[in-house]
């Protein structure tokens, strides 16, 4: 139950962060898919996805915090590719700056997710135990 609550909170936080960042920077959302970079975007994201899906069995069977670093690296690659393509193909937009800020926040959140989950678990268990 704590994981579901945490996932919903992260999703809402990510959506709010993206909206606020774009509003502060005055960036109107544009898509790479309407530019010449569409094929590079599709093939790049597809290749990264296939490689990471193929590596999941090896990552899941290892001990330690490998899974956290695995997903952090995955999001860093995906969002890094997106920001590079936005910089290259959306010349009139500063959308890549918003993507870079979002990437930084996502990486920091993944780095500290263990301590957040522990605190959330303590809050939920403490609240349920008090009843």
What SS3 class is residue 131?
A: coil
pTM of the entire structure? 0.77
Burial class (CB in 10 A: 0-12, 13-18, 19+), 53: exposed
64 DSSP 8-state letter: S
How many angstroms separate the CA atoms of 46 and 35, rounded?
A: 18
Write down the domain spans for the chain: 37-118
The string of pLDDT tens digits covering residues 78-113 is 999 999 999 999 888 888 999 999 899 888 887 887
The string of pLDDT tens digits covering residues 20-44 is 988 998 888 888 888 888 999 999 9
Q: State the residue for tokens 């001990």.
A: 63
């Amino acid at each position: 139950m704590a994981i579901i609550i945490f996932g919903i909170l992260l999703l809402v936080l990510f959506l709010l962060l993206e909206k606020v960042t774009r509003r502060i920077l005055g960036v109107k959302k544009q898509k790479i898919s309407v530019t010449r970079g569409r094929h590079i975007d599709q093939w790049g994201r597809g290749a990264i996805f296939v490689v990471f899906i193929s590596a999941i069995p090896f990552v899941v069977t290892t001990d330690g915090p490998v899974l956290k670093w695995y997903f952090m690296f995955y999001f860093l690659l995906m969002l890094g590719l997106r920001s590079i393509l936005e910089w290259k193909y959306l010349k009139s937009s500063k959308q890549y700056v918003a993507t870079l800020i979002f990437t930084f926040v996502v990486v920091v959140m993944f780095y500290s997710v263990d301590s957040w989950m522990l605190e959330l678990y303590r809050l939920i268990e403490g609240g349920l135990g008090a009843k």
